[in-house]
Amino acid sequence: MIVRSLRRTMVSGGAMLSLTALSACDLAPTYHPPTYVVPATWHGQAPFATATPADTQLPSNWWTVLHDPQLDALEDKAMAANADLQAAAERFVQARAMVMQARADLLPHFGLAFGASDNKQSADRLFRYKGALTQTDEFYGGLASWEPDFWSEIRNQVRMAKYSAQQKAADFAAARLSLQAELADDYVALRGYDAQDAIYRKSIAYYQQAVSVTQSQLANQAAPRLDLARAQNRLYVTQAAELDILAEREVTEHAIAILTNSAPSGFHIAPVETLHFTRATIPVGVPSDLLQRRPDVASAERQMAQANRAIGVSRAAFYPHIALSANGGFDANGFDLANLANSMWSYGASASMPIFEGGLRRAALQASWASYREMRDRYRSSVLSAFREVEDGLSRTDRLWAENDRLRAAVSAALDMQNMTMTLYKGGVSPYLDAIIAQEAALDAQISQVQVATRYFQAEVGLVRALGGGWNDKLLPTPDQTMTFSVLQYDGLHHPTPAGGIDTPVDETPYDDLTGTPTLRTGTVPMGK
């Protein structure tokens, strides 16, 4: 038996136009993102002037404002190799695939079917039809179906998938900014530990000299044994404090290794003596620009847009669903393809409409409305958090820089006091207790100054992160750019699709077609508009 089915929509050109017109009935509410009244300037009085129109954006490689080549190299390595960032890129690829999957339901579906069989009946079968015990059956054909999208249910699902892909692109940008900021923050902390360790090592050398001085004084009976005990105590306490700083440095170094996709055991950053970062000039812009510069805010807005379209999908469930189908072909005992008497065909339409389902669809509609309101509230919360983080960054940078100035003056005074009291002690004019107090004050002032300076540069990193790190919503792919291939494309089935559309290292074509494993990881696909 041969069946050749032709899947046809069985509508004329005029009917197709009328169906297209009906499909424009969109049941989703009109979407308008919430608007907010924002101040003209920031409240925080940070040492950063409002940027000029020609300098309103941070560079995408914003960490270069710290002028540290080692940090630049680490950031580049993290962007190229961090596993969490690559996973975020793959989530974007998955979202784009879901766009094409949803879009497929808008188009007619065609298929082919063919086969053959040879059947033998049992001679002792009850009620067997008199005739041959064997029978052959050969068939081939095609299948087709289409569901007109009268109520834009499928179109809204496609729009939701496109918005989801845009959201994943914004999530990737947020993950990338988070990675960049975390790495810069850890690196600043590491250099802060280096500066503290250098202070401790200098203090330990000074205290060792002080122990020698007190031993000489004790040998000459010019000082009591108490002075030697005090000097030794100060030395041992400082040595212990240095070990604690070294432990913190190693832990931070391990964290940087993971961020750059390196094994901690084989990763090392050479220490330096001082904090050598340059105070950055950060263009903070105006508050009204912030919502376009934060990827997390853009992600929240795209989630809200998806929830808005979901209402239209839930509403469409209350209306009739119509499906068209057609098939035709040949069915015969043998390969007699030219015999029109063996031809067969069928076509038809079906419609279904809910009458009573116990409130099932109304519950789904109410849930979609509640989900939309939840996404709107989350968007509002993300906006408020964004403004708070910028104001926090402005306040911290302002206060910490002023605090750092005061502490540098305190360090200078404390070092003078330490030198003078030791000179007086050597001359027998001052007790060693004064020298101990001066030594503690000098060490505490130096450590506090380095810690505050470290916090200041970390606050700079936090401010840049709060401002979006040079990102803006124009970098998001448009809804149409989330579609990745043609409906008639059949190549590229043996290797993954590169994560194009966002700035990320991707797997290009050098794949093993048998195992599907990559043989080379290289390349960067920039996002275009």
pLDDT tens-place string over residues 150-185: 899 999 999 999 999 999 999 999 999 999 999 999
3-class DSSP state of 323: strand
CB atoms within 10 A of CB 451: 16
Q: What is the pLDDT of residue 521?
A: 34
Q: Please say whether the beta carbons of 465 and 52 come within 8 A.
A: no
Q: What is the pLDDT of residue 336?
A: 65
Neighbours of 126 (CB within 10 A): 5
The model scores a pTM over 0.85: no
In the chain, how many domains are there?
Answer: 1
Q: How high is the pLDDT of residue 61?
A: 92
Most distant pair of Cα atoms in the chain: their distance: 133
Residue 103 covered by a domain: yes
Residue 483 lies in a domain: yes
The answer as to whether 406 is a domain residue is: yes
Number of residues in the chain: 529
What pLDDT does residue 126 have? 64
- Does 375 reside within a domain? yes
pLDDT of 111 over the 90 cut: no
Backbone conformation region of residue 469, classed left if phi is above 0, alpha if psi is from -120 to 50, else beta: left
In a domain, 133, yes or no: no
Side chain identity at residue 152, one-letter code: S
Q: Which letter, b or e, does each residue of 87-105 get, where b requires 16 or more Cβ atoms within 10 Å of its Cβ?
A: ebbbbbbebbbbbbebbee
**Mean pLDDT over residues 510-528, rounded?**
34
- CATH number of 387's domain: 1.20.1600.10
pLDDT tens profile 462-495: 999 999 998 988 889 889 888 887 777 776 666 6
Give the number of C-alpha atoms closer than 13 A to the C-alpha of residue 261, restricted to the C-beta side: 14
Residue 99 lies in a domain: yes
In a domain, 140, yes or no: no
Answer yes or no: is 272 within a domain: yes
Angstrom CA distances, 369 to 306, 316, 382, stand at 12, 14, 20
* Domain span at 412: 31-107+153-320+360-506
* Least confident interval from 197-201, 230-234, 325-329: 325-329
Helical pair 83-103 and 69-81, crossing angle rounded to 10 deg: 40
To the nearest whole number, what is the mean pLDDT of the chain? 82
